[in-house]
Amino acid sequence: MLLLSYSTDFVSCISKYVKIHESSNCIFFDLTQETLKELQIFINDTENDKCQDSVALDSRDDYKSKDAAESETSEDPPNKRAKLETSITDVQSEEEAAAVDKSKDGDSRVCVVCLGILQGLCGTTQAIKIAEAVKAGNYEFDTLVLSVSLPAQLCVREHSCWLYVKKEVREKGLVLDKDDVIQVKEAFKWIMQGMVTKELGGIAVVTKVSPFEVSVEFTHPETDADCHFLAATCPDCFKPTKNKQSVFTRMAVVKALEKIPDAKFLKHYPCPPTQPTSSCSPQVQCLHVSVFVAGRYNKFCRSLPQTPWVIDGERRMESSVEELIAAPILSAFRADGFNFSSSGREDVDVRTLGNGRPFAMELLNPHKSRFSKEQMKQLQETINQSSDKIKVRDLQIVTREAMSRMKEGEEEKTKSYTALVWTQKPIQREDISFIDDIKDLTLDQKTPLRVLHRRALAVRQRAIHSMSTRFLDSHHFYLRLKTQAGTYIKEFVHGDFGRTNPNLCQLLKTDTDILELDVESVDVDWPPPVPE
């Protein structure tokens, strides 16, 4: 008897909670059907056993009297159990529910908790829209993760309903923990994952990790109005940010709800929430994780910058190393954008020879992500045939973690250069031979004037490990240097008005300048070489 009483009260309490959603024909109500049905069957079976026992003890006339009494009161409002039975049997489709709602008072009623998300925005129609967005993007993927972004006020409304349900449950002498309540976001995912899988022809919608994410973002026009009272009660939780249109972010609202006492919340916000005037608006976005491509490039032109050269909003060069490499790669991967990085950079008038300079590209939201080694080799050939100013080698797909190896210990790496030097004073071969014997020369280099607009003023110590010379004529010679990465070679040659010490002018006791400079090698053992 105690178990029966407990179960009856429990179902009655749940029925009262479900009525909040039932009045709006919310799909969340459908989720509870199986559980409620099982509980109802259990109660009915128990009551039938009880009735059978009563028949054995009571007379037939007493039973008829009881039945007649029930018939006389049949026109009274149904009890909670009868209401539950009616609700279970009268399950409607999304379209039917919407039609019924719209017929009431000539307008649709939006659920006070989910703001319509679990009504018309959660079902076959929405699954078809999501699938169409995925197919339109023409992505390459095996699985996908369905993520959901809800308006911040949903936290407020869920909290209000939770306080209401907690009060009702407590009055029944029952215990219900907040963790037992299914959140709107989880309910949406449970409903939609199977539907989206079906619409995509069986492609798995996973719950953990996938490189492809389909995001459904819901927005609502009343977000600020619903959350406004929190700004007054918990002002320290809401701080303006440059990138956010509203201070009422989901994280900030959750933080405020954790701080505000229940009594204070109920003083400022209705429980249960008021009827919203409109439902949420969904927006579907697809995003594939970045793909990383690495390689080495040679630059053969002395009028080609590494990156687009724009000064005061005006472009100075028609192209760049970055653009010549990126254009074919972007096209092949069908990416929305990219980030280009390299192990150091050369000036616009400097060539990069030898094995080339390591570079890497992060491809943003690539629609195609799988390439065989042969396809990468073909892509490399496409880049090399597109221009005679650059050449790429060792092109390959790498991991995000491997990208860091290009920058690790960058200043400890060495680089080799060849410079064509001019001297004001005529020189002989013997005048420059002593340079070959200089080893590990330490320089103090103040930030060069030519880069002071983009680099902080500082004095940096750099090392020239070795030098060798090749005499040309009385005013020219070639200087080969092996230096610490980050050494300013031009400033070492001409002195930069004394900002680099020591410098070649001081060593030769005459003014010197650099006419040409080539990078011969960048000694970074990454990315690994790809066999031809």
- Return the bridge partners of 342, or none: 359
Tokens 């490990």 map to which residue?
465
- Residue 216, class by beta-carbon neighbours within 10 Å (0-12 exposed, 13-18 middle, 19+ buried)? buried
**Chain centroid, CA 471 distance in Å:** 58
Tokens 């009623």 map to which residue?
109
Instruction: Give the whole-angstrom CA distance, residue 518 versus residue 347.
Output: 10
- Return the bridge partners of 415, or none: 483, 522
Instruction: Give the whole-angstrom CA distance, residue 267 versus residue 222.
Output: 20
Q: Are 314 and 411 in contact (CB under 8 A)?
A: no
Sign of the Cα pseudo-torsion (247, 251, 255, 261, in order): positive
Widest pairwise Cα distance in the chain: 136
Residues tagged active-site? 347
The closest alpha carbon to 276, from 218, 228, 223, belongs to 223
Identify the three-state secondary structure at position 270.
coil
Tokens 């320290």 map to which residue?
236
Query: 24: which DSSP letter?
Result: T
